[in-house]
Structure 1
Amino acid sequence: MTTVDVHVVRVFVDPSGAFGNPLGIVDGTLVPVDARLGVAAALGYSETVFIDDPADGVLQIFTPTVEMPFAGHPTVGVAWWLHSQGYDTPVLRVPAGPVPVTRSGDITSVQADPSWGSTFTWRQLESPDEVLAADPASFSDDHTYLWSWISEETGTIRSRMFAPAMGIPEDEATGSAATQLTARLARPLHITQGTGSQLLTTLISPTAVTVGGRVAAAPSHTFNL
């Protein structure tokens, strides 16, 4: 039996450090590839990352039910965590492709092609109140993204995302969806998702969008393999 550390961060916290989407981070050299999905399911985070080479940024991302070629909150969270551990890793390497990393103050951002993310059912609602009133049990598609303008003038949005088929009844903050919505609307956005997580995006081109935010450390724990 091997005891493995699980480092936990909360990704896309607000300026006070509240909210954020928890992410499990595991040393991939300790977990065989064919065991990673089971570990991710047992841990129960919306995503868990297994880092195979921290200096070169090589990693895999798993939900409780499937491997993801790219996901936003895991790459932002890992980029922040690697930097906190003393690694200068300018590019993360996920199955979808290279993911450049940038930092500005307390904001960590990654750049990705919006097409790398999951396929979403998009539902624009009339008001943030409608978004907040939605019942997660009403949604059965793989990924349903509800959103409304808080202010179209300032590019601020309120959103929620449900993915019950992926083992995620509601995702607190979805970076890949933020990249896709930014490309769809062709403008930078400030998105408040879930209970209050904050995502910031920029549009470089139709195939290059950044998504970023603040990250905070959470208590670590262990599991036995």
Structure 2
Amino acid sequence: MADHDLLRVFCGPDGQHGNALAVVRDGSRVPDGAARQALAKKLGFSETVFVDDPERGVIDIYTPTLRLPFAGHPCVGAAWLLDVPELVTPAGVVGTRLDGEFTWIEARAQWAPPRTLRQYGSAAEVDALPVPPPGEWIYAWAWLDEAAGRVRARGFPGRGDGIDEDEATGAAALLLTARLGRALNITQGRGSQILTAPQPGDLIEVGGRVRLGGVHGGTQPG
């Protein structure tokens, strides 16, 4: 198995939680799509990133079952790890910046895969939701403090690939920000934090904390 870095993206203020991400820095060791898909399935994370050009920031993103032209938490994690001014994805060029403890990407809502954004009346309702059956990708959300832009959210991919709930989902946060047209401070999953802010030119920034979770090679992470 190709060596890979294990990151946690969109960690909470205490550095805990975050969505696990595998990054294969040397994408040439897994050169074709079928092999990349097989490795992403074996690793079992919601996404795995393959770096095809570390200097230019060219990346390739896979879930356990499909290739994605763009995804939020893989781009934030790759931006932090590679420390480049932009990332090149099949969807387009993603601007990046590091600002203290936060890593930010700048992308367009239309690059994000489709999500069903489902609003609930309270955070307690969101917390009480069971995992829905496989089908549509649901981003369940409610206001914690509407005036302050604070949101409680949970993400249910519905793909039937073993990822019943996504701990932190940048692409869904991007779509919710585009719909609401305002900056958001999202608490997702068990305690992950995602920050967003609309920018000129229909761009949206998505930011969060990234922590290095360890380097794995030859074994499947737990």
Q: TM-score normalised to the size of structure 1?
A: 0.93
> Is 2:194 the counterpart of 1:195?
no
Structure 2 SS opposite 1:39 = helix
- For residue 178 of structure 2, the aligned residue among 179, 183, 196 is 183
Residues 31-86 of structure 1: CA deviation (Å, up to 9, x unaligned): 02231001000000000000010000001000000000000000000111113xxx
- 2:42 is aligned to 42
What amino acid maps onto 2:108 in structure 1?
D
1:134 to 116, 129, 134: 129
Match of residue 14, structure 1, among 12, 15, 18: 12
Q: d(CA) in 1 for partners of 2:17 and 2:182?
A: 25
State whether structure 2 residue 156 is matched by structure 1 residue 158: no
Displacement after TM superposition at 1:216 (Å) = 0.4
> Where does 1:165-176 land on structure 2 (aligned, <5 Å)?
165=159, 167=161, 168-176=163-171
Could you tell me which runs of 5 or more consecutive residues in structure 1 were left unpaired when the two chains were aligned: 84-88
| Structure 1 runs of 4+ with >2 Å offset | 138-142
1:94 paired with 2:89, answer yes
Q: CA deviation at 1:143?
A: 0.7
Matches within 5 A, 1:38-117: 38-83=38-83, 89-117=84-112
Contact 1:63-1:166 at 8 Å conserved across structures: no
Alpha-carbon offset, residue 108 of structure 1: 0.3
Cα deviation per residue 1:163-185 (whole Å; 9 max; x = unaligned)?
A: 12162211000001111111100
Q: Any conservation in 2 of the 1:24–1:49 contact (CA below 8 Å)? A: yes
RMSD: 1.3
| Contact map agreement 2:117 2:176 (CA 8 A) in 1 | no
Q: Using the alignment, how far apart are the partners of 1:183 and 1:205 within structure 2? A: 12
Q: 1:206 to 1:181 in 2, by over 3 A?
A: farther
* Structure 2 residue identity aligned to 1:148: A
Q: Partner of 1:29 in structure 2? A: 28
My pick for the range that moved more, 54-63 or 204-213, is 204-213
Aligned partner letter, 1:149: W
Q: CA deviation at 1:207?
A: 2.5
Bigger proportion of residues as strand? 1
Contact 1:190 1:198 in 2 (8 A): yes
Secondary structure of residue in 1 paired with 2:59: strand
- 3-state secondary structure, aligned to 2:218: strand
Does structure 1 conserve the Cα–Cα contact (< 8 Å) formed by 2:186 and 2:195? Answer: yes
Task: Give the Cα separation in 1 of the matches to 2:201 and 2:176.
Answer: 11
Q: In the TM superposition, what whole-angstrom CA distance separates every residue of 1:173-222 from its partner, at most 9, and x where no partner exists?
A: 00011111111000000000011100000001472101010000002111
For residues 58 and 142 of structure 1, the distance between their equivalents in structure 2, rounded to whole angstroms, comes to 29
**Residue 204 of structure 2: aligned partner:** 209
